[in-house]
Amino acid sequence: MGMRPIGTAEELERRRRRAVELVKQGESPAKVAYFLGCGRSSVYTWVKLDREAPERLVARPHPGPTPRLTNEQVGELEGLLLQGARAHGWPNDLWNAHRVAEVIRRRFGVEYHVEHARKLIRRRLNRAGQRPQRRAKQRNEEGIAR
């Protein structure tokens, strides 16, 4: 999804309905898009929705702030991350923002945007994308070779 256009949910719904109405009256989607200041593809989408699922043209209030983990949960998360990524089913022990967001989703049922997970790692957990130590990896490979 791109950037949300400016306006209240109701204003946006009014614009969607106006676009559909104008196309139904015979205006070209390109003209309607220009007139309403929106993308032509949006107009096509709205016309299609009006035909197939009109309820989806309805105003949807913007979702509130991203849910956050409590300090207690962040503490618990730190413990989970200290176990290493392998302990959570990944093929290596490298933690990245995607993996951390996934652990947060599984453990706490909270959807974290990858960028938020990255900030959390940096700010709250003081980890810079924690990489496994080089030496441990080499030892491991020697062990496998043996």
pTM over 0.95: no
- Residue 46 and residue 16 in contact, taking contact as beta carbons nearer than 8 Å: yes
Distant-in-sequence, close-in-space partners of 103: CB < 8 Å, separation ≥ 6: 77, 80, 81, 88
Tokens of 117: 């997970």
pLDDT band at 38 (very low <50, low <70, confident <90, very high): confident
> What pLDDT digit, counting tens, does each position of 84-125 carry?
999 999 999 888 889 999 999 888 888 888 888 888 878 777
* 79: number of Cβ within 10 Å: 8
- Burial of residue 99, with CB atoms counted within 10 A of its CB: 0-12 exposed, 13-18 middle, 19 or more buried: middle
> What pLDDT digit, counting tens, does each position of 135-146 carry?
555 555 555 555
